[in-house]
Structure 1
Amino acid sequence: MSKERSNPQILSSVSNALRILKSFSTFEPTQKVSDLSESLGLAKSTVSRLLTTLAHEGFVVKEKSTGKYKLGLSVLTLGGIVTNHLEIHKEAAPLLHKLVNDTGETAHLSILDGTDTIYIHKEECSHPVRILTHLGRKNPAYCTSSGKVLLAFNENNLVEKVIEQGLHAYTSKSITDPDELRKEMQIIRERGYAISTEELTEGTRSVSAPIRDYTGKVISAINVVGPLQRMPDYKVPDIAKKVLNASNEASERLGYDKRFLEVR
């Protein structure tokens, strides 16, 4: 019995499309419909329909001269995301640990997921009283320092999509006015880091700065978060400087060179 039949949750069409993608290799970078049909045990008509769908989504490209198919840029994009995130973990982990030692507060590594932000790495502080945060949990980007950093430097003007979805008030300090959020984005871009004070959870403050890849694109953010009484106003500039140092070093470790991009 096939895997598809033994597990009703598996869609045979999706499974077959993925089998087609996995048929491409360094040794066989191009494939014909007939070859895929024979090697996978699928009808030519089925293979042809699946390839047409994959081509429409950019996962394969048909060569006009030979009629063969090769992998498309969508595969490269997904691979780049995985590589970047693996590299981010590797390069940022020791910097987060140092940041915790330097600030005494919990540090996180965050990414965007749609219009939300997610913590993908966390270094806990040693204080007995800590801010409860969770890896993998989604938070609205406009209410967190890391989310605001990622929105501010997003190349697709994602902040307008966030505004269209509605700005819900999680606390009395949450930004709910579209113009105020747009102004905040501009301040973050000019200053280079973001601050969130009781915007998602009362009694907390966080400071975040962006991490860039070798192309200069912001792909992640580093932040520190703690109780407001341990992160009062007068401490924010010093904390922000330390967070910026950590994010800049993480960016450099990923190949970012500001001087090169300025010349280019």
Structure 2
Amino acid sequence: MDGTSRVAGAGTQSVERALSLLAHFTDEQPERRISELVELTGLGQSTVSRLTGALEQLGYLVRDERSGLHRLGPRVVTMAGIALNQSPVHRAARQSAQNLAHDVGLGANVAERHGDVMFYLCHFEGPLAPRSFTLTGRTAPLHSTAMGKALLSGLAADEVRALMGARYPAYTPQTLTTVDALLDSLDEVRSRGYATEVEELAFGRACLAAPVRDRSGQIVASISVSGPLSAMDLGARQETLASKVIEYADQVSTGLGYLAHAGAPLH
């Protein structure tokens, strides 16, 4: 290996190590000490200190002078905003999701599928379903969420089996924990045009979601309304909420260039 290759290799290693530090800042642990990062990464303390110092200078980390804890910095927010603004789905869906939240008074969400998880692209709160945090950027399982089921409804049974494998963790007693149960649920999604989730991921919460298609007709995203069971009031509101979420999914699909066949429903 010549000198140039060695320098390039060392540079790549530094980038990988720096990114590995950032990956350990999560919703559950948004702040970290140097000692925690040393333990989590297995890197030496001097290496972690050097890398966190560089990340601070670049704005990717911020250090609280009183506690000594580090958290993600403004540069990360800037880059996340750039990435979202480059997403065709986010651009087409953002205003519709905001309007949907205002229309029904509940949370409105848009998500894509990234491999075997769903990824929230945007999230808006309604007065009946307030949150003190954003879901944007978070991931969630496919099999236990209405949005995930809406995303999977465009796949054939063998594609679902290959994608999901045997990974069906139970989050509540209502979670679908077998591929057969999931496939039955997906048939229902296709027949009525929307997916439901009632305490399958979290107790006391429900969600209705519809698929979003691009100009090719492929399902590329899903849009939903969600909130506490009491606010969703599915016994009285399910059909109304389903109609709304399908209506807004149609708007986003149209914005992405999808045109339903004449005389045929969009979903």
TM-score (norm 2): 0.64
Distance 1:157 1:260 in 2: 30
- Structure 1 residues 217-236: aligned runs within 5 Å: 217-233=218-234, 234-236=236-238
Question: Which amino acid in the other structure matches residue 4 of structure 1?
Answer: A
Q: Quick one: structure 1 residues 249 and 129, their matched pair in 2 at CA, closer, same or farther if it must change by over 3 Å?
A: closer
Distance 2:133 2:85 in 1: 27
Identify the residue that residue 261 of structure 2 maps to in structure 1: 259
Q: What's the offset of the Cα at 1:136?
A: 1.9
- Structure 1 residues 40-119: aligned runs within 5 Å: 86-119=87-120
Q: Contact 1:211 / 1:218 at 8 angstroms: preserved in 2?
A: yes
Identify the residue that residue 166 of structure 2 maps to in structure 1: 165
The DSSP-based 3-state class of the residue aligned with 2:226 is strand
Distance 1:134 1:95 in 2: 17
Q: Quick one: structure 1 residues 232 and 116, their matched pair in 2 at CA, closer, same or farther if it must change by over 3 Å?
A: same
Identify the residue that residue 79 of structure 2 maps to in structure 1: none
The DSSP-based 3-state class of the residue aligned with 1:134 is coil
Distance 2:193 2:123 in 1: 22
Q: What's the offset of the Cα at 1:124?
A: 2.1
Q: Deviations over 1:120-149 (max 9, x none)?
A: 111122347448662222211010111001
Distance 1:255 1:84 in 2: 18
Q: What is the percent sequence identity of the aligned residues? A: 29
The DSSP-based 3-state class of the residue aligned with 2:148 is helix
Identify the residue that residue 251 of structure 2 maps to in structure 1: 249
- Structure 1 residues 146-157: aligned runs within 5 Å: 146-154=147-155, 157=158
Q: Count how many residue pairs are aligned between Structure 1 and Structure 2.
A: 192
Distance 2:200 2:172 in 1: 6
Q: Contact 2:157 / 2:183 at 8 angstroms: preserved in 1?
A: no
Distance 1:96 1:192 in 2: 18
Unmatched 5+ stretches in structure 2: 16-82
The DSSP-based 3-state class of the residue aligned with 1:142 is coil
Distance 2:137 2:84 in 1: 18
Identify the residue that residue 9 of structure 1 maps to in structure 2: 13
Q: Contact 1:212 / 1:218 at 8 angstroms: preserved in 2?
A: yes
Unmatched 5+ stretches in structure 1: 12-81
Question: Which amino acid in the other structure matches residue 243 of structure 1?
Answer: V
Identify the residue that residue 20 of structure 2 maps to in structure 1: none
Identify the residue that residue 239 of structure 1 maps to in structure 2: 241
Q: What's the offset of the Cα at 1:203?
A: 0.4
Q: Quick one: structure 1 residues 83 and 167, their matched pair in 2 at CA, closer, same or farther if it must change by over 3 Å?
A: closer
TM-score (norm 1): 0.65
The DSSP-based 3-state class of the residue aligned with 1:226 is strand
Q: What's the offset of the Cα at 1:179?
A: 2.0
Q: Quick one: structure 1 residues 131 and 142, their matched pair in 2 at CA, closer, same or farther if it must change by over 3 Å?
A: farther
